[in-house]
């Protein structure tokens, strides 16, 4: 390959990406970013009206976009997603597991319903999405899976015990699947941001809470979805074909300062 051709490895033209949690926040912005990089999309979440809004935005890029409503707590619905993707285009090259749910409470106050919703959405659902969409990748001997992790997989913030435990589990699961599925040409990595400025986080990240978080980030600001897109495109593209089982921290120095 000529030196000046290396940047072409980041081009996602002709690739098919499945993005969960695509109705808002990080997942929404990742979906738009992948389309801008050339990928066709299947966008998924529980809320059809929000997905249709994202579809309209993605449509302006000229890329194909399909909407699929799915509750990731239900394995049967995840299998339905797989069949929809297979019957529509026959393959999936990229899976972004962005869906999640969290509550911020002291561990003493976490209810069984809180636990079940967080774990079933953010860990059980993620695993079965990996397996369902990964099976399409296995048929072709190639694929990229990116699981959304967090700096809280390795550091502690009060009130996020269950969330942090799930993200730690995602790190380990990412490594395990990467090793198990490497012979099938499937690369599995995780992307771990620090606190990201999204609409759902704005109420929480205010006043003393925001000050405390910013004091822990050497670069002195929250992350934005745009900060994550370069890493997502890299991990989804041919540029990262020899990268698997890794957790990429996009955190403004949070982990280095822990």
Q: Which residues are catalytic?
A: 163
Cα torsion for 20, 22, 26, 30, to the nearest 10°? Answer: 90
Q: Tokens at residue 29, please? A: 């912005």
Helix axes 161-181, 125-140, angle to 10 degrees: 20
Place of tokens 């996009």: 250
SS3 string, 104-148, reads CCCHHHCCHHHHHHHHHHHHHHHHHHHHHHHHHHHHHCCEEEEEE
Are 134 and 176 in contact by the 8 Å Cβ rule? The answer is no
């Amino acid at each position: 390959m000529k030196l000046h051709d290396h940047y072409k490895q980041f081009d996602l033209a002709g690739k098919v990406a499945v993005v969960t949690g695509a109705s808002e926040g990080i997942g929404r912005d990742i979906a738009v970013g992948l389309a801008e990089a050339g990928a066709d999309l299947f966008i998924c979440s529980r809320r059809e009206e929000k997905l249709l809004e994202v579809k309209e935005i993605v449509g302006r890029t000229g890329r194909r976009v399909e909407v699929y409503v799915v509750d990731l707590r239900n394995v049967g619905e995840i299998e339905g997603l797989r069949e929809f993707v297979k019957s529509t285009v026959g393959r999936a090259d990229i899976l972004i597991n962005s869906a999640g749910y969290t509550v911020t409470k002291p561990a003493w106050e976490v209810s069984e319903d809180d636990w079940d919703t967080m774990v079933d959405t953010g860990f059980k659902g993620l695993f079965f999405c990996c397996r369902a969409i990964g099976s399409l990748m296995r048929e072709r001997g190639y694929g990229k899976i990116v699981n959304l992790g967090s700096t809280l997989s390795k550091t502690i913030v009060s009130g996020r015990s269950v969330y942090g435990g799930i993200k730690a589990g995602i790190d380990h699961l990412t490594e395990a699947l990467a090793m198990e599925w490497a012979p099938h040409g499937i690369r599995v990595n995780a992307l771990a941001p620090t606190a990201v400025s999204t609409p759902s986080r704005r109420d929480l990240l205010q006043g003393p809470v925001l000050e405390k978080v910013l004091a822990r980030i050497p670069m002195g600001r929250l992350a934005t979805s745009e900060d994550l897109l370069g890493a997502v495109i890299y991990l989804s593209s041919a540029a990262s074909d020899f990268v698997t089982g890794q957790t990429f921290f996009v955190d403004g120095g949070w982990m280095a300062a822990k």
